[in-house]
A = this chain, B = another copy of it.
């Protein structure tokens, strides 16, 4: 090579890796920048990004300002648990004929196995049907209104089924006054949210309605508001990330409410059973983490010009997002499969596609975005501790801001990456990291595993294109 190039050679290789390797083998310095075409080279998306770049400076400033405002609101959120009560009494617009489900809107015909199973369970639980067959007939009859939880200020994990008699947590975002709702967590194994509807499942729901709900209602009344922001912040220092690892936060709820349960008028057998039920279920806090995240993100549900994502949710058929700047519009892509670890006796072929409203945690800046705080979660969802660190670090690339209230010890107390900017997702081709449980694809079976999932890029591209079109002439 010295014959060809008399002076010392320093090469930047933009071609195939093999080109650079050949040069390196000759002893020259080679740098290979990691470059990928924007938006994966997708012509329609590149065109949309290009149009935005060509907007006048003033217009681009409006987007930047709107995103700053949205980021500020997410960080300023003060979710506080204020009560427990019946869905019929608390959830706006709820009736006895409503069945709320996770994700974007969905008809009975398009529902996947676990959502159908959970709908059947919900109708049996409410006494609207006596058998599986009756429930399926009723569900298909048009007499039942199927609505997304998200259209009723609510969220639901996995199938996310909410019916009238279920007890729900009420969360208030004290910074903005809006409220959010979520059912109580049933535990793992055969549970409604994973599509199981056997008598055991229905009996547990009845106990939750008759004893657990009223007990928590009494404890909350005695305790007063329970600050979710402080509690989540503490849990992030204790190895939780607020989506699939909630052991610490569940412990802190037990610590906070325990004395009030004891002092209530409830029989001690009920108090002990309630404490054992919560202790037996480290995911108990998920159903507080989710409405806390919903209460935070609903404060950016309508911010004109903002490209931040206000909602992400899946119903097992579609994955959908909503943008702060395009209120009320869902942009969807097909729900994808989860890459994860399976419970003994199950395998990838048994899995339903990605499902549930729990991705609201990532949308608010915790969950997969805070995995660096929860390295032990990789034992549940797969991967190594360094993956957990890397996932969080990568999410700073696609977010507007950092939430200093949610400090990650392992990153020297850096705040969690917060406020997903759909432009950055689409341009950089970096999809939000989501960790999640996996449901069996057939109704009636339940949980089969947990893992990580890549949402469909089409939902984000469609949203960006719609944004560019909507604001093109404004």
Contacts and interface: CB of A to CB of B under 8 A. Distances in A.
A93 interface: no
A259 interface: yes
Given A238-B238, A239-B238, A409-B375, A279 B251 contact: no
A425 to B, nearest CB: 28
Contact of A251 (B255, B376, B379, B409): B255
Contact of A279 (B255, B263, B375, B411): B255
A250 to B, nearest CB: 8
Interface in A248-270: 248, 251-252, 254-256, 258-259, 261-263, 268-269
A259 B247 contact: no
A41 to B, nearest CB: 36
Interface in A110-167: none
Contacts of A279: 255-256, 258-259
Interface residues on A, range: 35 or more
A275 interface: yes
| Residue of A251, A256, A258 ringed by the most chain B CB atoms within 10 A | A258
A239 B258 CA distance: 22
A32 interface: no
B251 A275 contact: no
A384 interface: yes
Interface in A348-402: 375-376, 378-379, 384-386
A276 interface: yes
B262 A272 contact: yes
Contacts of A413: 379, 385
Nearest to A265: B268
A57 interface: no
Contact of A255 (B254, B261, B375): B254
Interface string A276-290: 100100000000000
A13 interface: no
A27 to B, nearest CB: 12
A237 interface: yes
A201 interface: no
Contacts of A472: none
Nearest to A260: B272
B255 A376 contact: no
5 contacts: A237-B239, A238-B248, A251-B254, A262-B272, A262-B275
Those 4 A-B pairs whose CB atoms lie nearest each other, nearest first: A251-B251, A375-B409, A237-B376, A376-B409
Interface of A: 234, 237-240, 247-248, 251-252, 254-256, 258-259, 261-263, 268-269, 271-272, 275-276, 279, 375-376, 378-379, 384-386, 409-413
Given A248-B251, A259-B275, A385-B413, 11 more contacts: A238-B239, A238-B247, A238-B376, A254-B258, A258-B275, A259-B276, A262-B262, A375-B409, A376-B409, A385-B412, A410-B410
